[in-house]
A = this chain, B = another copy of it.
Amino acid sequence: MSMYTASSLKSELNDRGWRMTPQRETILQIFQNLPKGEHLSAEDLYNHLQQMGEKISLSTIYRTLKLMARMGILRELELGEDHKHYEINQPYPYHHHHLICVKCNKTIEFKSDSVLKIGSKTSQKEGYHLLDCQLTIHAVCPACQRAISPL
């Protein structure tokens, strides 16, 4: 749960016998510069890259997202849509959680030190090495409460 740079990522990859590539560096940069509150799907990232003139294949994007999520660099989020979203996994005090409307998927971010503490305490107690902890609140937003619901 610390900050990554291109070179620290390279070190960690090389230590495990893996390789740093321009594709991985580019993807890391995009997430590092992503505005607060934005979350990218694989397809979003693909489009984002195309607009920048970068050509990275969808296969590579999927592979890289999964790799970085398992390394703890990215967080994999379920925001109620039919695909995963990703964002950079920031340490305290930028670490945050999500409140999601199950009907319209509107998402609000919020912080909580105590959740972070519970996460590290719990993983420590079980001997797990912590990568990320996310509190996801499923609820119905004010607008959807008023709407006559088709589901």
> In this assembly, does A128 line the interface, its C-beta being within 8 Å of a C-beta of chain B?
yes
Show the binding face of A for B, using Cβ within 8 Å: 16, 66-67, 69-70, 72, 78, 99, 101-103, 108, 110, 112, 114-115, 118-119, 122-123, 126-142, 145, 149, 151
Known contacts: A99-B122, A119-B137, A128-B142. The answer to whether A149 contacts B16 by CB under 8 A is yes
Least CB distance, A110 to chain B, in whole angstroms: 6
- A145 cross-chain contacts in B, Cβ below 8 A: 129
User: Would you call the interface of chain A mostly helix, strand, loop, or mixed?
Assistant: mixed
As for how many copies of this chain the complex holds, the number is: 2
- A122 cross-chain contacts in B, Cβ below 8 A: 99, 110, 112, 137
| B118 touching A141, Cβ below 8 Å | no
Cβ contact of A101, chosen from B128, B132, B151, cutoff 8 A: B128
| A130 touching B135, Cβ below 8 Å | no
| A130 touching B137, Cβ below 8 Å | yes
Least CB distance, A80 to chain B, in whole angstroms: 9
